[in-house]
């Protein structure tokens, strides 16, 4: 069963990278200059720093379970909102389902690893 959670962790890493690429692409292509630069360059950097500081498994400042869930809802939810409003509702729903299922499995795996479940 641990190989399942390891594969899910790899998928989660790719979801994180895709999320940063989506935010960057939509910021630079769908918005005009001041907002586009903010969304396309500054926001992905902020998301990366927050993720590396509070979400990374080996981070000394890793947030607790509820904090990680809140951060995920903010980051992935905002990316999903951008997808739905700027590209396609269908694509946004698919992204949301994949991210949601992945998050559930990841938190179950974390709970098993830490001995909470």
**pLDDT tens-digit map of 52-96:** 999 988 899 999 889 999 999 999 999 999 999 999 999 999 999
The predicted pLDDT at position 109 comes to 83
What is the pTM (predicted TM-score) of this model? 0.88
The predicted pLDDT at position 46 comes to 96
Distance from C-alpha of 103 to C-alpha of 112, rounded to nearest angstrom: 14
24-33, 35-44, 106-115: least confident range: 106-115
The predicted pLDDT at position 44 comes to 94
Distance from C-alpha of 98 to C-alpha of 103, rounded to nearest angstrom: 9
């Amino acid at each position: 069963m641990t190989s399942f959670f390891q594969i899910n962790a790899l998928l989660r890493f790719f979801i994180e990278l895709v999320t940063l690429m989506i935010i960057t692409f939509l910021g630079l292509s769908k918005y005009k200059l001041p907002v586009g630069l903010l969304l396309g360059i500054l926001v992905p950097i902020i998301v990366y720093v927050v993720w590396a500081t509070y979400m990374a498994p080996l981070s000394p400042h890793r947030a607790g379970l509820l904090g990680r869930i809140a951060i995920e809802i903010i980051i992935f939810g905002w990316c999903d909102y951008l997808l739905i409003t700027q590209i396609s509702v269908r694509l946004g729903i698919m992204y949301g389902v994949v991210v949601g299922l992945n998050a559930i499995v990841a938190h179950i795996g974390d709970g098993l690893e830490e001995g909470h479940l």
